Structure 1
Amino acid sequence: MNLLSKIYTTAAMTIALGAPVTLNAQEVTLSFHQFQPDGSILAKNVFTPWIENVEAASDGRIKIEMSSGSAAAGNPAQLIGLAEDGTVDIAMSLTGYTPGRFIRSEVFELPFMMQGTVATSLAFQQLIEEDFQNNEYSTMHVLAGFVHSPGQIHTKDPVTSLDDIAGKDLRAPTRIIGNLLTELGANAVSMPLPLTGKGLSDGTINGTVTPWEQVRTTKGIVENVGHHTEFEGNESFYTATLVVVMNKAKYDAMPDDLKAILDAQSGMALSRLAATELQKGDAAGRALAVETGNPIYTIPTSDIAKWKSATTPVQITWADEAAISGIEGWGLLDYAREVIRETAIDNPS
């Protein structure tokens, strides 16, 4: 028997005996780039188990290689575009890092729209599946959308009322949140999250808005601000939308069974996982502020109406801009709010 015959005979016997065949077991390798560092909640508690779940569910036929933080290609503002053009296969970033492009998604960032991290994330994912995927995300495949936990105010000087925020130079993560801060009389400063600590220490900014969980994750916040302000009640000051998107051509080229596996492990499941872990992370961030000795002020529910009234122009501006793009903004706002409310019934914060 020659060598070729032996190879064929051995392969045939392996199949006949039911032994596992490893040839071509791994069919797809996907690069995944996201801007949060390795030790962050998203990298460690969300994306690592998600990758493990996808690889296990596919019996190893899908492999996802994650690059985090500074190891990711480009900067956070470029990541969605890099997935869109195929430089990377999958990317995660804030939609607001590309201002004005994802207008529908911005509805969830409007002041006091948020009602719990999980409920708002699942509502965002629902609207992606119902509408947004075929519109503003039509050139890519959305694996999941979610929002971060409630945004709070972190400043060098105390903010205990609306009047206190005026004149402050505050980092704003997105266009909508920048509009929100500007409407309240602050000077909104666009700055990448990793540079927040440096901006606070050198005086470029004297405060920032970010969720509690980022106070622990982002170096330099708690050390350089002396005061924190949070909001009482289930309607949060603001949030920001994030998406995990995949290159459309890469997704379309995958075998149908692998697409089904990837989608089943993503979508609502990944949205819920991300929201749950981010919400859990708030406790550690808040505890760090307490341990540091920074006072925490709470805006009571009795004052929320004043804040809502002061930020109404942000909604009006967004609706007007949406109309220019052919979007019925007020209708979308009402629908998004209703979906959040309905989702919050089964997913209380």
Structure 2
Amino acid sequence: MRKACLALLLAASVTPALAQDKTFDLKISHWVPASHPLQKSLEDWVAAVNKDSGGTITGKVFPAQQLGKAFDHYDMARDGIADVTYVNPGYQPGRFPIVGAGELPFLISDAKGGSMGLDAWYRKYAEKEMKDVKYCLAFVHSPSSFHSKTKKIVMPEDVKGLKIRPAHATMANFVTSLGGTNVQSSAPEVRDIIERGVADGVTFPWGSLVLFGIDKVTKYDMEAPLYTTTFVFVINKDKYNAMSDKQKAAIDKNCSVEMAGVVGEHWGKFEDAGVDKVKAEEGHEVYKLTQEQTAAWKKAAEPLVKTWGDGAKKAGADPDAALADLKASLKKYNALAE
């Protein structure tokens, strides 16, 4: 009898340990400075996952390309160099054509709603287009435009002859179509290439212009909602698949349309605050476009829709239906540009 009781006591003490989920310590990588709002967004993200997993998922955020170059972050998640990464799909032209719809000029008006609308729309395409990883969420920053050192860019023809560092593949196509030359670089390298004369200007959001010190080497700033940039958080598939159902649920809860809006809004407020900072600096000319000038830019951007559509079609999407769905999603979240 005593042996039986002892066996039951031992079993009771062992069972909770057996039922306890394995712990995971995630390596979370991005390529902007730790002072960028994305750092806090990712720290908040892993804190939420930690809470929802009952403390079994922890993580550390590695900023500023510590684990790898900006261009490599999708492959870093795929290959397990990092467990969660921040990716700019437009850094690799042609690789992720469908999500590039979010880069089209004069489409998205707001960072929070734009992020929610984009993410809600892209989920049905992400499983195929980003099949090497576990897709988490997509988001955008606030609408942005041109900043240049050598010449005021007012009309589309003003880009002719300029060397521009584009934000992504769509803006690169735009620059080329207008007679400019693209200079490819990641965001942390932009100040250097303008300072050295390798580039004359850049398409960049306002708060980040100041954060990266690009405002120190530029002079002319177009205040117009010309474009946004799409970003995604992705997760290593093997790491996600090794988790328990409860842990996967914790990840899924924080890979949502709502979380996309949280990340987009936090970043958007930072970028919007940069407009007044640049206006207050000496040596900067910040200018808005007239209705006629805006119409000229919209007209010049029309071929980009076809270019995007051709790429989306090759990737297996119906471009007309996909773009109509994206616009409907953006409208739902009050972020469709007029």
TM-score, normalized by the shorter chain, greater than 0.5: yes
Contact 1:32 1:64 in 2 (8 A): yes
State the Cα distance separating 1:13 from its structure 2 match. 8.3
Counterpart residue number, 1:3: none
Alignment of 1:273-312 (within 5 A): 273-293=262-282, 294-312=284-302
Q: How far, CA to CA, are the matches of 1:242 and 1:184 in structure 2?
A: 25
Counterpart residue number, 1:41: 37
After superposition, the Cα gap between the structure-2 partners of 1:25 and 1:332, relative to the gap in structure 1 and judged at 3 Å, is closer
Counterpart residue number, 1:138: 131
After superposition, the Cα gap between the structure-2 partners of 1:342 and 1:97, relative to the gap in structure 1 and judged at 3 Å, is same
3-state SS of paired residue (1:190):
coil
State the Cα distance separating 1:166 from its structure 2 match. 2.2
Contact 1:171 1:189 in 2 (8 A): yes
* Corresponding residue to 1:63 among 42, 51, 58: 58
Counterpart residue number, 1:258: 247
Counterpart residue number, 1:32: 28
Q: How far, CA to CA, are the matches of 1:298 and 1:91 in structure 2?
A: 36
1:133 partner amino acid: A
Contact 1:114 1:238 in 2 (8 A): yes
Counterpart residue number, 2:114: 120
Counterpart residue number, 2:321: 331
Counterpart residue number, 1:240: 229
Q: How far, CA to CA, are the matches of 1:332 and 1:265 in structure 2?
A: 25
Alignment of 1:86-101 (within 5 A): 86-101=80-95
3-state SS of paired residue (1:299):
coil
* Corresponding residue to 2:202 among 194, 198, 208: 208
Q: How far, CA to CA, are the matches of 2:269 and 2:81 in structure 1?
A: 33
Counterpart residue number, 2:146: 153
3-state SS of paired residue (2:146):
strand
Contact 1:176 1:314 in 2 (8 A): yes
After superposition, the Cα gap between the structure-2 partners of 1:327 and 1:299, relative to the gap in structure 1 and judged at 3 Å, is same
1:227 and 2:216 are equivalent in the alignment: no
Q: How far, CA to CA, are the matches of 2:202 and 2:194 in structure 1?
A: 8
Q: Deviations over 1:165-192 (max 9, x none)?
A: 2221110122111001222232221111
Structure 2: gaps (5+ residues): 1-5
CA RMSD of the aligned region, Å?
2.6
Counterpart residue number, 2:103: 109
Q: How far, CA to CA, are the matches of 1:280 and 1:348 in structure 2?
A: 18
State the Cα distance separating 1:227 from its structure 2 match. 1.2
Q: How far, CA to CA, are the matches of 2:188 and 2:48 in structure 1?
A: 29
How many residue pairs match? The answer is 330
After superposition, the Cα gap between the structure-2 partners of 1:14 and 1:170, relative to the gap in structure 1 and judged at 3 Å, is same
State the Cα distance separating 1:133 from its structure 2 match. 2.5
Q: How far, CA to CA, are the matches of 1:132 and 1:205 in structure 2?
A: 35
Q: Deviations over 1:294-347 (max 9, x none)?
A: 1101113443221111111111122223333332222212221222122217x9
Q: How far, CA to CA, are the matches of 2:184 and 2:74 in structure 1?
A: 18
1:299 partner amino acid: L
Q: How far, CA to CA, are the matches of 2:255 and 2:323 in structure 1?
A: 25
State the Cα distance separating 1:40 from its structure 2 match. 0.6
Contact 2:85 2:235 in 1 (8 A): yes
Contact 1:119 1:348 in 2 (8 A): no
Contact 1:35 1:70 in 2 (8 A): yes
Contact 2:139 2:231 in 1 (8 A): yes
Q: Deviations over 1:184-238 (max 9, x none)?
A: 232221111111100111100111001112112212x10101110011xxxx311
Q: How far, CA to CA, are the matches of 1:227 and 1:280 in structure 2?
A: 22
Contact 2:107 2:337 in 1 (8 A): no
Contact 2:144 2:205 in 1 (8 A): yes
Q: How far, CA to CA, are the matches of 1:10 and 1:331 in structure 2?
A: 62
TM-score (norm 2): 0.89
TM-score (norm 1): 0.87
Counterpart residue number, 2:3: none
1:298 partner amino acid: K
State the Cα distance separating 1:11 from its structure 2 match. 11
State the Cα distance separating 1:146 from its structure 2 match. 0.5
| Percentage of pairs with the same residue | 25
Following TM superposition, where does structure 1 have runs of at least 4 consecutive aligned residues deviating by more than 4 angstroms?
8-15, 23-26
Structure 1: gaps (5+ residues): 1-5
Q: How far, CA to CA, are the matches of 1:52 and 1:324 in structure 2?
A: 39
